Structure 1
């Protein structure tokens, strides 16, 4: 706990029983049980994004780690500090290649740094070092501990009190170089903001820069954590599909990225460029690990852009309460009903994109998105966020197909009485795959393609599924029904699920 770890998201097994016992012996670390490892790793990611400090996972051998790798991939892409403790067979049992033996270090190395305890004497120092790795590198760090070494007392090293690592500051020379480029480009420039540049302070500076120079400003397509609403500039997300992103950037002689990677197509398509910026236009104001927030503030000062800022205009559009639900209507209803300082975990494009756009003029809130594209992040991320910030309401805006990857998170939400309202966009299909099939020239689906992208045979009952996990649930088919159900769920507190029939 003195090293900053306050929560352990755990799915332990035989080789981790010493750690389970230690959680009772050493007070101060809250243990949260997940019914699948990918719930634990996703929750740790969501917790760390909101808390600003690492969470720990406790996982069982290589197969347990493998089960959690998808959301660790997302955490790596989000530059989230997560510490994994993975048990290993007893040191004297390792030579026998037991059925659960595997190369744990090789698996862990795909998502971050890895350390292995080699003796009882090393356990204290290695535990402290793995926490430091996550903090310093802003990423995933894994410690592998043989079962017989876990019983050693960590008396050889004193924990270092946790302090957030200061991000490297961008040099004045780079600030001035980008300022010069923006002055010359004027309206033929675009700013793409990510990382800690999407703080309230960073976005205000980006808005001032855009208003002063005439540049267009976007958020990166999948931000780890983005502040929205409350008078902030409307930095909409750079479009997902490459053709639309290329079109959005096509006018730009300069594309300045601050806290984001270079915009790249998510997938390769024939005759579509993988790199989305016009040739020669890319310039880096701040790399993802650097202090993009301060770089934007310094750039605004260098440009003397301290006056008017682009500002989102609150929507006054009325919504027909009897209207059948669509992605656009869901986005507008949630944006209108959003509580102040809410956290919204978004996974799925059906409602996620419309909400992000509609909520620009809403009350202040925080949005978490699926940074790495590995499906099954939304529900665990919402769970972790709710544990990190128990006084803030959390909404999980989720598509039905992706929710099924980590539905077990509902049980942990109920057990922990997490203040999460889960909104399931139930169109009973893998809609994104149908879109991709259409993009590949398959205008008409054959019976196999239809069956591989449909979730309606048999039709899932999300309200019954939620009730089975101990979460109260409602069904909404119109904008008015959604508004009523969402208002009740937010007022009652605790976990709720609303199945939105689209």
Structure 2
């Protein structure tokens, strides 16, 4: 067994059984090892940002890390934007980054770079594998780190000679450590119970693991027992929502709207998150969005157990038998006529199939209209936590691989889609059930809004030319066809609804261009 084979065998033994790969010359032995181990699924991505984003999507739906294979420092650099998004979403992943052999590095070949320096700002754990004999230990530690709560980014650098050298000793692995989420502080729970018993208007902001599963149900019991409102930040890693789920209000993105939403709360209780902060700094607008005098009370820190915290809180409140209020099903009529944010949301509310996954990067088109899908059939909603655009099509790819029996809808603006459009090719190659919805307004419309928000004046012709993408206009149907994905363009709300429902009738990827 060589070092690369030892690495892959250890990944599989540690339950990391998928690798999103964009290999290069220095990783050929690792590539051979991936192909030689039947327990590992290898998925080829044509851009490193697709590989790292797909690993993020995999973790969000599976709650276990995937691995990536990246080629040297430049390959890692290409994937960093979506590693940033994954880190902000608390997604775990194991990045294997190829490196020149030690004997070759001294000659400073063209692809030499400071891989540790590139990796460290966005990694929780970085290590260079020093030998074929030690690589199993290093790999097991990388997986253990990535599997912590919250999920962590582990980066293992694999020199070529470490990869191809034969192992001389039996593989040795560290003693497995059962990672459990930390128990919330009892005094903190009792303090929040007193706040809730006061009857003063209180918002409980949920994030990460608290927006789904038993933790969300328990939060719904607390809300029903106390009258507190459950909310989320505008962007959340994954929310279980729709009919039959505990509803969560979404704090608006725009600063004035967020301030208006928060102004009447005397208390904010945070669960695996912090108090609401504006996404950007704007002239004459605050960074902190709460009203003056509002008190913030942490209930659950990011490394603690939300489900346990709400169990403790229900005990303190004497409300363990309270039933949560659940979202009713709202039968939305199929809309007709012009496409706009409201008619698009109504079409989605009517068309979303039960237990689908919605990956949202719709920006201007969907930003304020997603509340209109609250009464749709039960589904999962995934948002961009890090703000680096081009996250949605890779995350949708990883989510579809994680949940092959569920249809994934990827909502993305045309400007954002161009960052990682190579995802379509991987979706076609793997036969993934992804419907990519391109909102084609032929501009970076979000930047037009931000231009006004920043008080930069009226944009002139030259400034506008930097945020319009209609010269030349992108042919989305041709783009999709070139990568093996059937596509259709729609210009009315009823046609959009039909295209969405049609996309679920056959397996495999589809693209819908929504012409605005």
After TM superposition, the score normalised by the length of structure 1 is: 0.95
C-alpha distance after superposition, 1:85-140 (max 9, x if no partner): 00111101112211111110111111112011123332121111111111125211
Q: What SS does structure 1 have at the residue aligned with 2:256?
A: helix
Structure 2 counterpart of 1:94: 105
Deviates more, 1:363-372 or 1:352-361: 352-361
Name which of 31, 39, 45 aligns with 1:34: 45
Name which of 120, 131, 135 aligns with 2:147: 135
Distance in 2 of aligned mates of 1:254 and 1:264: 16
Unaligned runs of 5+ in 2: 1-11
C-alpha distance after superposition, 1:294-346 (max 9, x if no partner): 3224323322344353433433443432x111122112211211111111111
Q: Does 1:243 align with 2:256?
A: yes
Structure 2 counterpart of 1:333: 347
Name which of 75, 78, 100 aligns with 2:89: 78
The alpha-carbon deviation at position 498 of structure 1 amounts to 0.3
C-alpha distance after superposition, 1:373-427 (max 9, x if no partner): 0111100000000001111111101111111100000000000000101111111
Structure 1 counterpart of 2:360: 346
Describe the shift of the 1:76–1:64 C-alpha distance in structure 2 as closer, same or farther (beyond 3 A).
Answer: same
Distance in 2 of aligned mates of 1:88 and 1:394: 35
Name which of 8, 24, 29 aligns with 2:19: 8
Structure 2 counterpart of 1:401: 415
Structure 1 counterpart of 2:131: 119
Distance in 1 of aligned mates of 2:264 and 2:401: 44
Distance in 2 of aligned mates of 1:490 and 1:163: 42
Name which of 444, 469, 472 aligns with 1:458: 472
Deviates more, 1:132-141 or 1:272-281: 272-281
Name which of 474, 482, 491 aligns with 2:505: 491
Structure 2 counterpart of 1:221: 234
Distance in 1 of aligned mates of 2:135 and 2:38: 19
Distance in 1 of aligned mates of 2:249 and 2:266: 20
Structure 1 counterpart of 2:6: none
Name which of 290, 296, 312 aligns with 2:327: 312
Distance in 2 of aligned mates of 1:222 and 1:496: 26
Report the number of matched residues. 500
Structure 1 counterpart of 2:164: 151
Q: Does 1:261 align with 2:271?
A: no
The alpha-carbon deviation at position 430 of structure 1 amounts to 0.7
| Native 8 Å contact 2:268 2:275 kept in 1 | no
The alpha-carbon deviation at position 440 of structure 1 amounts to 2.3
Name which of 106, 109, 116 aligns with 2:117: 106
Distance in 2 of aligned mates of 1:31 and 1:163: 27
Unaligned runs of 5+ in 1: none
Structure 2 counterpart of 1:429: 443
Deviates more, 1:381-390 or 1:150-159: 150-159
| Native 8 Å contact 1:315 1:358 kept in 2 | no
Structure 2 counterpart of 1:448: 462
Q: What SS does structure 1 have at the residue aligned with 2:148?
A: helix
Task: Please show how residues 356-435 of structure 1 align to structure 2 within 5 Å.
Answer: 356-435=370-449
After TM superposition, the score normalised by the length of structure 2 is: 0.93
Structure 2 counterpart of 1:252: 265
Deviates more, 1:163-172 or 1:211-220: 163-172
Structure 1 counterpart of 2:209: 196
Distance in 2 of aligned mates of 1:119 and 1:499: 50
Describe the shift of the 1:100–1:452 C-alpha distance in structure 2 as closer, same or farther (beyond 3 A).
Answer: same
The alpha-carbon deviation at position 277 of structure 1 amounts to 2.7
The alpha-carbon deviation at position 163 of structure 1 amounts to 8.7
